[in-house]
Amino acid sequence: MEDDYDGWLVSRPTLVQDRNHPNHWRNRAADLKASAGALWHSMGAQDSTIATELGYAPGYRMSVACWPVYHMLCGLSLELIMKAVLAQRGLTPADFKGHKFANLHQQLRLPLSKDKRKLLQFYEDSLVWAGRYPTPLDATDEKLLKHYELASEVLTKPVELSQSGVLRFKVSSGATDWEHFVKLWDNYALLFNEALGYRVDTPNP
């Protein structure tokens, strides 16, 4: 019995190895998704109850202050769920290091449309421009303006006010609204279940 126990001590995973189990990647992705959802619903509140309970002054708007943070959490969750699938397929963190969403998507062997590439790029950029600091260390005006341009392309759509097309303005595209984000996230989660051996429907490209 003692030899068996000693053998188990030698062969058992280290704490770091255990923490890199695919389920940990998937659970962290789900936790970040839940956090993004909580923020989304707090932004949709019709009154200032939440802001008041948090100690903010009257007039503080969660919908304004938390919009970039919502996108950051969505981006973090998407990165983690994609990496969870790759981990479940037997890859190691060294195999999928980095934060390029398009690369992760392609490692999953999925088609990538032009619109989806832009959407994933926006979420990836949100980790940089809506992260811990106002700007990253390598920030330049050119990079920031490029991010603004991408955000406009993803988050808005043009509407014509006249048949001639002379009068136009932009409205929200809804591309990153909660229901659309959940659909995108769930498509990756299906791949995780598929890697476990569950029979699942083919995710949408």
pLDDT digits (tens, 9 = 90+) for 106-115: 999 999 999 9
3-state DSSP call for residue 81?
A: helix
Q: What distance, in Å, lies between the first and last C-alpha atoms of the chain? A: 53
pLDDT digits (tens, 9 = 90+) for 155-176: 999 887 766 665 678 899 999 9
Phi and psi torsions of 55, nearest 5°: 90, 10
Q: What's the predicted TM-score (pTM) here?
A: 0.85
pLDDT digits (tens, 9 = 90+) for 91-142: 999 999 999 999 999 999 999 999 999 999 999 999 999 988 999 999 999 9
pLDDT digits (tens, 9 = 90+) for 47-72: 678 888 889 998 888 989 999 999 99
The C-alpha angle 76, 80, 84, rounded to 5 degrees, equals 175
Is 72 within 8 Å of 35 (Cβ atoms)? no
